[in-house]
Amino acid sequence: MKATFDPVFLLFVNCASSPSRNKAKNALSGQIDFSRIGRGKNTKNLVWTNGYSEKCLLLQSENHFDFMEKEEKVQYWIGIAEEDLDVAEDMHKTKHWLYVAFMCHQVMEKLLKAYWSQIRDDLPPYTHSHIKLLDECGLLNQMSEEQLEFVDFMVPMNIEARYPEYKQNLSAHLNEKTSFEILDKTKQFKQWILQKF
């Protein structure tokens, strides 16, 4: 899809790859292929680098998913789920049990959003609720009792906006054994849901 746009913001970045220079040249001429645009980290907007001057154009967009094909959306969610699982394993090695649980909660959420993106045309909702995502994807009634128990167990592990006292109380119930079990069941959940794609 070709479109014209007005540059709305400038950032300094380090990027001098030939593909970026070519993309920037097209962007600066006012023509851009949104299906090939790069996406910046830590922003919902799109980042376009110009390797010559080390500047980039930030294009206004309500959501960077607007410029993604279905498969790109699916792979986006799967990719960050896999990164989060790697972090969870690192947290296990360093004995940060609470953060193992939190990252596994994130893995499950992102895998569900990947599945949502696979089967639906609308965007996944801004929610951390596994139950809501499972239900609206039609997966809730396909889960075993053991899987449902694990989903319920993981509900309080979303500690992103919790007070220190909450985290301390939760940490008191986590240890190496529970951390290993959470990791193992999260990997099982990942395998289960990916088989449904």
pLDDT digit string, tens, across residues 112-142: 999 999 999 888 988 999 999 999 999 999 9
- Predicted confidence at residue 164, as pLDDT, reads 87
77 and 30 fall within a common domain: no
pLDDT at 160: 80
Element (H, E) at 164: helix 164-171
Query: What is the maximum alpha-carbon separation in the chain?
Result: 58
Say if residue 76 is in the same domain as residue 165: yes
Q: How many of the other CB atoms lie within 10 Å of CB of 117?
A: 23
The domain total for the chain is 2
Same domain, 23 and 56: yes
Residue 3 phi/psi, 5-degree rounding, is -155, 155
CATH at residue 183: 1.20.120.330
Asked which of 33, 67, 101 is the last residue of a domain, the reply is: 67
Instruction: Confirm if 85 and 92 have CB atoms less than 8 A apart.
Output: no
Same domain flag for 57 and 33? yes
Q: For residue 148, what pLDDT is reported?
A: 96
Average pLDDT estimate for 100-118: 96
Residue 12, φ and ψ in degrees, nearest 5: -100, 125
Q: List pLDDT tens digits, range 142-188.
A: 999 999 999 999 999 988 877 888 889 999 999 999 999 999 999 99
The pTM (predicted TM-score) of the whole model is 0.68
Domain range for 135 is 70-194
Q: Encode pLDDT of 57-98 as tens digits.
A: 444 444 566 678 888 999 999 999 999 999 999 999 999 999
How far is the C-alpha of 112 from the C-alpha of 114, rounded, in Å?
A: 5
